[in-house]
Amino acid sequence: MSVTKDLKRITTETIRKMKFSGEKISMLTAYDFTIATLVDAAGTEIILVGDSAANVMAGHETTLPITLDQMIYHAQCVVRAAKRALVVVDLPFGTYQSDPQKALESAVRIMKESGAHAVKLEGGKEIEESIKRIINAGIPVMGHLGLTPQSIYQFGSYKVRAKDNSEAEQLISDAKLVEELGCFALVMEKIPADLAKKVTETIQIPTIGIGAGNSTDGQVLVVHDMLGLNNEFNPKFVRKYLQLEDQIKSAIENYVADVKSSDFPNENEQY
Ligand code: KIV
């Protein structure tokens, strides 16, 4: 049974209800107005303005360099486009880990200046006070556990997380904590499918997986990955629904050739 059909605006409450109705939650990233318009119109329930913008929009190797001002800019573009989807924005690295007051101020800036509906933070126990402070101010928070790209230099690689028992136990305990603190949903990135299933069955808030198997309550992908905009990036968990890199390159090559041969513009393409 669909709980989202005909809804004007998806809310955190809608997302919570979807877990219990069994309707899977679809989430995709977007960082600009044009793509966000398409993602929204296609029926995606959640648009994530991910700090993966640092990689796919700005060309950085990691997500660490993106700033709060830059995230707010991307969020503003997406919010203008999203007529139905819930818009969640990543708090970027360095804006919430050091101090709960700073975390709250960062989250408030995102909500006030972009008009987004929720924020996402990476981590569990270590950022407990920051999550608490933001939720106490009435701002919905989405958690993020497993592979947390802002900690890449601590992990040393983008390999699957929580394969051993102690890390798996820690993740389960962090997931329970995130639920207790009042987060409305939890992203789990690149962890074994069995562990993601166990967490999904243990906690009452919706889980959204990326590289975490099929038992989570929803799925998220980076939109550039699922559209096939980068032939060099082929992790197992990405299903490519298009091969846009090839198509765009070939379209641009055709344009260049048409300009050079004076085929473009023709008589119908001029005033
Ligand atoms: O920044 C991002 O795109 C994310 C998703 C991978 C979940 O956090």
Domain membership of residue 235 (yes or no) is yes
The H or E element spanning position 219 is strand 218-221
Give the SS3 label for residue 162. Answer: coil
Known active-site residue 253: no
> How far, in Å, from the CA of 257 to the mean position of ligand 1?
38
Give the pLDDT confidence score for residue 195 in this predicted structure.
Answer: 98
98 with 113, same domain? Answer: yes
pLDDT at 197 over 60: yes
Domain identity same for 170 and 231: yes
Query: Average pLDDT over the chain, rounded to whole?
Result: 97
Residues tagged in the binding site annotation for Mg(2+): 51, 90, 122
Q: What is the mean pLDDT of residues 197-223?
A: 98
* DSSP character string of 72-91: HHHHHHHHHH-SSSEEEEEP
pLDDT at 3: 61
40 part of a folded domain? yes
Q: 154 and 255 share a domain?
A: no
The residue-averaged pLDDT of 194-205 equals 98
Q: How many residues does the chain have?
A: 271
One-letter amino acid at 133 equals R
Q: Residues lining ligand 1, CB < 6 A? A: 29, 48, 50-52, 90, 187, 189, 210, 220, 222
pLDDT band at 159 (very low <50, low <70, confident <90, very high): very high
- The answer to whether residue 220 scores a pLDDT higher than 70 is yes
pLDDT band at 4 (very low <50, low <70, confident <90, very high): low
Q: Is 3 inside any structural domain?
A: no
Q: How far is the CA of 140 from the centre of ligand 1 (A)?
A: 17
The predicted structure's pLDDT at residue 84:
98
Our mutation pick for probing the ligand 1 site, out of 51, 223, 225, counting the most ligand atoms within 8 A of Cβ, is 51
Residue 5, pLDDT above cutoff 90: no
d(CA 110, CA 257): 44
Q: HSE-up of 81 (CA within 13 Å, CB side)?
A: 26
What amino acid occupies position 107? A
CA-to-CA separations, 209 to 37, 105, 144, 252, 269, in angstroms, rounded: 23, 28, 10, 35, 47
Per-residue pLDDT tens digits for 83-142? 999 999 999 999 999 899 999 999 999 999 999 999 999 999 999 999 999 999 999 999
pLDDT at 156: 93
> Residue 1 pLDDT > 60, yes or no?
no
CA 203 to CA 178: how far, in whole Å? 9
Tell me, yes or no, whether 233 and 252 share the same domain: no
Domain that holds residue 207: 12-240
Q: Both 200 and 265 in a single domain?
A: no
What is the total count of domains within the chain? 2
Closest CA to 181 of 135, 117, 231: 135
Tokens for 151? 């900690």
More confident residue, 1 or 62: 62
Q: Strand, helix or coil at 31?
A: coil
Task: Please give the Cα distance from 125 to 211 (Å, whole number).
Answer: 23
**224 and 255 fall within a common domain:** no
Q: Are residues 138 and 201 in the same domain?
A: yes
Identify the pLDDT of residue 200: 98
93 within some domain? yes
Question: Cα of 51 to ligand 1 centre, how many Å?
Answer: 6
Cα separation, 222 vs 62, in Å, equals: 14
167: domain CATH number is 3.20.20.60
List b or e across 27-40, with b for residues whose CB sees 16 or more CB atoms inside 10 angstroms: bbbbbbeebbbebb
Element (H, E) at 29: strand 25-29
Q: Radius of gyration over alpha carbons of the chain, in Å? A: 20
Q: Name the DSSP letter for residue 160.
A: P
pLDDT-based confidence at residue 43 (cuts at 50, 70, 90)? very high
pTM: 0.97
Q: Is the per-residue pLDDT at 8 higher than 90? A: no
Q: Are residues 50 and 134 in the same domain?
A: yes
Residue 46 has pLDDT above 70, yes or no: yes
